[in-house]
Amino acid sequence: MGRGYIVQDDVEGYLSKLCEQKADPVTGLLIGQSSTQRDFVVMAIRTPQKEEQTCTLLGFMFAIDFQVSRMLPGGLSVVGVFIITDADAKDALTTLRQLLFAVENLISSEHLWDPADDDVTDCVTLHINPKTRKTVCRTFDIKDPKSVAKPADWKYQSGLCSSWATVSCSLNVDMLLPLPNNRTSTGNMEECLKEGLKAWAHQIESGLCLIDGKRLPEDSELTVGQRRNVRQTYTTQLLITTVRDENKRLTDVIEQCGGSVSVTGAIHSRAYLHSNKPKARLAEKLLKRDVVSTVATRVQMMLEELLASDQESKGSDPGDFFFLPPFLTVPLPFFSGPLCVCDYQFSDEGLSEVTERLKEMLDIDAAEEDLDTRQEMTFEITGCDITPGGHRDMHACVLCPDCPPFCCLGVAMATAVALLATAASMLYLNDI
């Protein structure tokens, strides 16, 4: 017997509307949560349509962006792909398989965590014939390049997420990331920064997680003893050790670098868990991955923005000010539950541009008043400091809403260093 997918009934209405459109084929992503017990699909997202799109696979590859994955909160991920076409079922399945593995390779390349033993590696493909409305559901093991299609059950259900649990935490971040001696290559510096983040991510993975002040057994049910169909919220603490492997101590000390990025401050993270007897192990895993993803996403997005601005200005001025993109959330319009998606507002954007991006990337119609801008506060780099020897170090601080304002010192003279340094700046996420 194949895997079973419980699907929010609003997904059925969304897919039906896509079937009524004249475009053929229509491709998209399936968003949800997988567990060893059961799989859930809460959203379907149509691939953004491009005028230059000439081939389904090629168009899909160009349209799928890391941004979609970045806009998903902890606990939600891409669990599959769909296609709406009246083409032959065998041809459609071949296309779906190509799309599924392409998307997986794209998104997993951003992951900084190690795979877990209980990770579900089966992902779903859905083929809908717009004329007959016949639905064919299959799964593939995305970690096996030779994987063959397996049948799966696809069942719609109302109120799927109304009682999902929310797990949240606040974490102090204090890490030092080395920069390479060769600053002429952006790729070299980006890779160096990523390696530093991976080392930090391993510390997060090995950290101790307390849920409501208790260390729960991994296999214990998170909601045991709680009333059924009642939404639960849990506060956690992550206790992180800084002890390093003895075999790596010497190389850590003597390693040469061309500078460093210091990241300090506090972040807030949260993850959503399905209501089918979620385990403490799953809550801990999803929350830790969201912590890592929150940091890595902010680094990468600021790097991309500043790279683009630097190309336009043909160089950075030491007096330039760089604003970090504030974190925004918007509730999913068809849920009565806690689920939200997120986005980031760049320095040159208004709220209207954020709503346009939500429509383009997630196909969500959101008004400006739906955006929750209270999650974070923005701040700017107001000065620079050059350390002895010409090395430039960034000291990125965080503004806490409960603390008096202060400024952060950094360097904006060396373009590439400024890009990485500013990218590592963090914001404080204030829980709702």
Output the CA torsion 113→117→119→124 (10° steps). Answer: 130
Return all residues near 242 (Cβ < 8 A) that are at least 6 apart: 203
Burial status of residue 411 (CB atoms within 10 A of its CB: 0-12, 13-18, 19 or more)? buried
Q: 3-state class of 78 per DSSP? A: strand
Q: CA-based angle 218:76:171, to the nearest 5?
A: 60
Which residues face 271 on adjacent strands? 74, 167
Instruction: Report pLDDT for 66.
Output: 66
- Return the DSSP state at 403: S
Instruction: Report pLDDT for 202.
Output: 92
Which residues face 153 on adjacent strands? 4
Instruction: Report pLDDT for 321.
Output: 38
Please report, as a single letter, which amino acid is at residue 9.
D
User: What span, in angstroms and rounded, lies between the C-alpha atoms of 10 and 50?
Assistant: 25
Q: Report the run of H or E that residue 113 belongs to, with start and end.
A: none
User: Over the stretch 219-278, which tens digit does the pLDDT of each residue have?
Assistant: 898 876 566 666 688 999 999 876 554 444 444 555 566 666 666 667 778 899 988 888
| Per-residue tokens: 308 | 């683009």
């620079």: which residue's tokens? 384
Q: Which residues of the chain fall below pLDDT 70?
A: 1, 49-66, 181-187, 224-231, 242-265, 302-326, 334-337, 375-432
- Return the DSSP state at 186: H
CATH of domain 4-157: 3.40.140.10
User: What span, in angstroms and rounded, lies between the C-alpha atoms of 9 and 157?
Assistant: 5
Please state the domain extents for the chain: 4-157, 165-326+375-423
User: What span, in angstroms and rounded, lies between the C-alpha atoms of 121 and 138?
Assistant: 14
pTM: 0.80
Q: 3-state class of 88 per DSSP? A: coil
